[in-house]
Every structure is written in structure tokens, then in C-alpha cells.
Amino acid sequence: MKTLTDNWSTYWDGFLGTLALFAVSAVLSLVLGVLIAGFRVSPVRPLRVFGTAWVTLLRNTPLTLLFFIVVLGLPRFDITLPFFTFAVAALGCYTSAFVCESMRSGINTVPAGQGEAARSLGMSFGQTMSVVVLPQAYRSVVAPIGSVMIALAKNTAIAGSFSVTELLGTYRTINELGYSIIWTFVWIAVGYLIITLAISAVFNLLERRVAVSR
């Protein structure tokens, strides 16, 4: 307990850092993911190819390698941004591929008749997607997206090793002060559990509100 109370501000900063990292990259990954999922089902061939390449590449890239490329590689192109921005870019792009795949399998659960009915009413592709298909896909997508978001929150830990303030990275500071290393990690673990359990509670709530039996 002393480890926690003595280092409260260090832990708190780390906790907030992890939360901020999670929140910003979650928004980025959701926006990008939905966009790319749209690309992948669109009638325009180059967009489809781009979407497929994006998803295939990112799903098979180790996140550490992506961090390595973004955080240490982009500065070689004379792009210098804060580490936080780099970390958000890496996490957001990586996660967007998984969000896209969840969206796509969500679109797959909407019966084909829905899209056909929308088309026979004379709706365009954009209308079919945004008014008919996506609102229905959204319901079956909540649970898988929740799973991806929890994984994203856990992945933010990697950013700590690339000079971003976050929860796991706090162990160094606290360790140097000579506190029990085991307890240091116990409190870090509790911090992550709070975040992941909160996300899973939010998504459970969402799921119950939008779920519909089909």
C-alpha cells in the first residue's frame, strides 16, 4: 500500500497517460477502420485494392516493428512530432485494420435482402450503406469492437518503451526510488485492470442497449 500512496502522483500521471493514449488512438482507429471498411466494399476497384492491402499488411505487422518504423523512422524523413503523436499514429493505424475486419464481418451478418431492398428503392451506394446496412451491422459489431478496444488499451503499454508517459513506464521511476518491485507491478496491473474492466463494462452496456435478436 505504501508503494501506491508514496508514488501516487507518478502512478496517476501514468494512468492518465495511458487513458489519453487509449482515447485518442481509439477514436483514430474507429474513424480509419470504418473508412477502410467502406473502401473494401465499395464499387471502386483501386479503393478496394488499397483497403485490402492496408488490412493485410497491418494485420501481419508486429506492433513493435510499426512503433520502430514510426517513432524512429519518420524523424529520418525530417518529420519531427511529439512522441505521443507518433504513438497514437502507430496504435491507431494498427488497430484500424482490426476494426475494419470487425466492421466487414458485421456487414456480412446483415441479410442480403436488406441491401437489395434498399437498392430497389433507388438508393445509391452511400445511402444503402449509411441508412440501411451500417445501422444494422452496428448491432452485431459492438461485441467484437469491444474486444479490439480492450486489446488496444493493453497495447498502449508498448508506447512506454518509446518515450511516452504511460502506466507501465512508471515502474522505472518507482524502482529507482527503491520500492518493492513486486508491489510496483501489482499496482500497475491493478491500473490496467481498471481500464480494461471499464471498457468491457461500457461495451456490455452498449451491447445490451442495441442488441436485437436475429
Partner 1 sequence: MTVQASALYDVPGPKALARHRLYGGIALLLIAAMIGWIVYMLFHTHQFTYQKWMPFEYRGVQDLLLRGLGNTLKAFGWTVLFALPFGALFAAGRLSDHRVVRWLSTLVVEFFRAMPLLVMIFFVFVALKVQPLWALVTGLVLYNGSVLAEVFRAGVLAVPKGQREAAYALGMRKTQVMTYVLVPQANRAMLPAIISQLVVALKDTSLGFLITYEEFLHAGKLIATNLDYDLPFIPVVIVIAPIYIGMCLLLSWLARWVERRSRRSPSVRGGAPVVEAGVAMGLPPSAQQ
H, E, C per residue of 143-187: HHHHHHHHHHHHHHHHHHHHCCCCCCCHHHHHHHCCCCHHHHHHH
Among 81, 74, 87, residue whose Cα is nearest residue 22: 87
Q: Which of residues 65-104 bind partner 1 (CB under 8 A)?
A: 65, 68-69, 72-73, 76-78, 95, 98, 101-102, 104
| Burial class, 114, CB count within 10 angstroms (exposed 0-12 / middle 13-18 / buried 19+) | middle
Out of 34, 105, 138, 173, name the contact with partner 1 by CB under 8 A.
105
Of the candidate spans 5-13, 20-28, 64-72, 203-211, the one that interacts with partner 1 by CB under 8 A turns out to be 64-72
- Rounded to a whole number of angstroms, the minimum distance from the CB of residue 160 to partner 1 is 8
d(CA 95, CA 29): 6
| Contacts (CB under 8 A) with partner 1, residues 184-213 | 184-185, 188-189, 192-193, 196-197
* Interactions with partner 1, residue window 110-169 (CB under 8 A): 110-112, 114-116, 119, 124-125, 128-129, 133, 143-144, 147-148, 150-155, 157-158, 160-161, 168
